[in-house]
Amino acid sequence: MQKIKAAVLRGPKQLNVETIEIDEPKEHEVLVDVYATGVCATDYHRYTGSQKVLLPIVLGHEGAGVVEAVGNQVTMVKPGDHVVLAANLYCGKCPACISGQPALCSKGPKTAFGGTQMDGTTRLHSGTEKINQFFAQSSFATKAVVPELAAIKVRDDASFDSICLLACCASTGIGAVLNTANVKAGESVAIFGCGGLGASAILATNAISAGKIIGVDIVQGKLDNVKPLGATHTINASKENPIERIKEITGGSGVDYALEFTGNTQVMEQAAGAVRPGGATIISGSPGPGSKFVVDCMSLVSGAKKIIGNRQGSSCPAVDIPRYVEMYMKGDLNLDALVTNRYKLDEIVEAFNAMEKGGTIRSIIKFEH
């Protein structure tokens, strides 16, 4: 057991850095010294209380750092390895995992929001008080214990400040392009929602030399942010009809792919209406259980269009995260451009406030070493 510093959430916006204890890793677990972690909207919604979470809890699910110790039977990493802590939890044993689709693991999501490790217990506590974990990671802390399958070894010369985003946000956006949609060079893409996910998708479309890359948002600052990332066109949907404008840009047909990253059902409808016959709409946002959006069935059928859900970029973390790191190091994915603010752990509330105000792509918490 060790003492660590962690941002403990005890109620809506009741977040303070405390000294707590972390247990040693158990079988198939890894203890990681955290160097950087992203600040994601998934954390923010739990911070504000707009989405429920078990309390008290240490949030954070986009960590990267150096392996300090390993538990029994760990074979994939060793002390000293640089790792990204994948938010895409998977057991490796269920039908989805065995069939090569770990993003669809039946156990992973239950663990992610269940407050524990994969074995149903937690490694964090304050004296006798149990502290819940987030995504079996809780990287808003100086150290984290994670499942072995979530500690993805990467090359040692990659900047933790940028590659930490590959734990969740960037991999979801990049994977939506490269895996879920499988966009080819020259094809046209519209990105609905130009925050961290959409910006990551734009990086990926630019990396594979897509044709027209159209960013759509209602916040002009976000549209301004994605122009340097590779967007060939931007549309402020608060000022003009995005479907009409996209068809104008594409000569009347619509885009090959429309990728939605907002979680807004009206935006999902717009995305579905913006694709050409034979095209596909990729839905990544999560508006909540029971949410629905309306599709023109005649257009869908007669146009042979597709609507596809995108869960965590359809990724296999052990394969895709190292691949994305290589693309980053070769200059094909400018992950550095996604990081607009850096904060210390005791400034984490400022990071959430910056997210609330908008105008940033992604903020990270950077730990001193």
Asked whether residue 318 is domain-assigned, the answer is no
Specify whether 177 is located in the same domain as 148: no
> In the block, which residue shows the tokens 């607009």?
340
Total domains in the fold of the chain: 2
Mean pLDDT of the chain: 95
- Is the model more confident about 289 or about 268? 268
Binned at pLDDT 50, 70 and 90, residue 250 comes out as very high
Q: Looking at residue 97, which CATH number applies to its domain?
A: 3.90.180.10
Asked whether residue 329 is domain-assigned, the answer is no
- Residue closest to 338 by CA, chosen among 229, 248, 220: 229
- Residue 223 pLDDT > 80, yes or no? yes
Asked whether residue 161 is domain-assigned, the answer is no
Specify whether 37 is located in the same domain as 141: yes
Structure tokens at 351: 């990071």
Asked whether residue 166 is domain-assigned, the answer is no
For residues 41-46, give the mean pLDDT. Answer: 93
Full domain range(s) for residue 180: 172-311
User: Distance of CA 309 to CAs 42, 166, 181, 185, 216, Å?
Assistant: 18, 20, 10, 22, 19
Specify whether 240 is located in the same domain as 120: no
Specify whether 187 is located in the same domain as 138: no
Separation between Cα atoms, residue 163 and residue 84, nearest integer Å: 7
Asked whether residue 125 is domain-assigned, the answer is yes
Asked whether residue 163 is domain-assigned, the answer is no
Quick: pLDDT tens for 258-267. Answer: 999 999 999 9
Q: What is the largest CA-CA distance in the chain?
A: 65
Element (H, E) at 218: none
Structure tokens at 66: 């150096």
pLDDT at residue 23, as a whole number? 97
Specify whether 90 is located in the same domain as 209: no
Specify whether 146 is located in the same domain as 266: no
Specify whether 183 is located in the same domain as 294: yes
Specify whether 272 is located in the same domain as 358: no
- pTM here is 0.94
Specify whether 219 is located in the same domain as 129: no
pLDDT at residue 285, as a whole number? 87
Asked whether residue 162 is domain-assigned, the answer is no
Strand, helix or coil at 96? Answer: helix
pLDDT at residue 106, as a whole number? 87
Separation between Cα atoms, residue 250 and residue 215, nearest integer Å: 14
Quick: pLDDT tens for 171-208. Answer: 999 999 999 999 999 999 999 999 999 999 999 999 99
Specify whether 350 is located in the same domain as 210: no
Asked whether residue 305 is domain-assigned, the answer is yes
Specify whether 78 is located in the same domain as 142: yes
- Residue closest to 31 by CA, chosen among 177, 141, 167: 141
- Residue closest to 87 by CA, chosen among 66, 72, 108, 67: 108
Specify whether 144 is located in the same domain as 178: no
Per 3-state DSSP, what percentage of the chain is helix, strand, and coil (rounded to 5)?
35, 25, 40
Quick: pLDDT tens for 108-130. Answer: 989 999 999 999 999 999 999 99
Element (H, E) at 244: helix 242-249
